[in-house]
Amino acid sequence: MDKSTDISVMVESLSRIYHRLRKEVNSQLVNEGLSMSKMKILHLITTGKTSATDIKNYMGFSSRTVVTVLDALEKEEMLQRHQSPTDRRVKYVYITDKGREKLRIAEKIHKVILDRMFSSLSKIQLEKFSDICNALEAQQKE
């Protein structure tokens, strides 16, 4: 087996792990009217003034998908949209108290699942994994 084959096997394994994690998190969050994507969006909008374009760029979703998700979160009263005072084309998205509460619950569920999935790794293995992820992300930004 050459290096490229080994890397391919590792990437496929990582992909399966991620999809299994996402499936388990989503199955738990559905009871709260959320998904992992909705949780990530709610978390993003807690950081300050956020537009749909900011969410689109952060999540890598199409504009249509972002609007659909925002509509659902707004209908569930987890967020509100407000027109920009300086640009009529822009609406900013803000989390509501209900959204904050749902996010708190979702983050607890997410943490429990992550802790369980990564519990077999030692502290050193987790640190190495973190270093590897950081190096790969830094390379993508170059």
Q: What pLDDT score was predicted for residue 84?
A: 86
Give the total number of structural domains in the chain. Answer: 1
CATH of the domain at 115: 1.10.10.10
CB 59 within 8 A of CB 37: yes
CB 58 within 8 A of CB 76: no
Domain region containing 106: 3-141
Q: What pLDDT score was predicted for residue 64?
A: 94
Q: What single string gives the DSSP state of each residue in 73-109?
A: HHHTTSEEEEE-SS-TT-EEEEE-HHHHHHHHHHHHH
Q: What pLDDT score was predicted for residue 67?
A: 92
Q: What pLDDT score was predicted for residue 41?
A: 95
- Residues lower than pLDDT 50 in the chain: none
